[in-house]
Structure 1
Amino acid sequence: MTDFPKILMVIGGLLLIIGFFMQFIGKLPGDIIFKKGDTTVFFPIVTCIVISIVLSLVFSIFGGRFK
């Protein structure tokens, strides 16, 4: 039970860092935005590709340490 607060702090820190970077990543060149009247549709194609590459690198680096 003594590891639980440490785990919560790590998860909270990760969420803080992810939230900080999501403010800047939201509208990259290549993301598709359709605006017509009061309706806006947003397809974050390039943002999804960047996030996928970053997560793949992180999991390939740290993936073997948790087995």
Structure 2
Amino acid sequence: MFRWLIAVFLALLLINSLTPWLQRLGFGRLPGDFRFRLFGREWFIPLTTTLLLSALASLIARWI
């Protein structure tokens, strides 16, 4: 379980560092990615981007 925790942490760090680059490619503005303001704060829920990146990671993992 500790290995999974480390893997998830490293994946989140990687995605966080790649966010500006991915936004220039259009990720985060796809249909199904929700951005709204609530309680004076902007919230972002990237459902479509998450599904697309998950499918891409799955294909890469199967190929390797």
Q: TM-score range by the shorter chain?
A: 0.5 to 0.7
Identity %: 31
Larger Rg: 1
Residues 12-27 of structure 1 mapped to structure 2, 5 A cutoff: 19=18, 20=21, 22-23=22-23, 24-27=26-29
The alpha carbon displacement at 1:36 in A equals 3.9
Q: CA RMSD in A?
A: 2.1
The alpha carbon displacement at 1:37 in A equals 6.6
The alpha carbon displacement at 1:26 in A equals 1.9
Letter in 2 for 1:51: L
1:39 paired with 2:41, answer yes
Provide the aligned length of Structure 1 versus Structure 2. Answer: 45
Q: Tell me the distance in 2 between the aligned counterparts of 1:26 and 1:43.
A: 9
Which residue matches 2:56? 54
Where in structure 1 are there 5+ consecutive unaligned residues? 1-14, 63-67
TM-score (norm 2): 0.57
- The ranges of structure 1 where at least 4 consecutive aligned residues each deviate by more than 2 angstroms after the TM superposition are none
- What is the SS of the residue equivalent to 2:35? strand
Letter in 2 for 1:32: F
TM-score (norm 1): 0.55
Where in structure 2 are there 5+ consecutive unaligned residues? 1-13
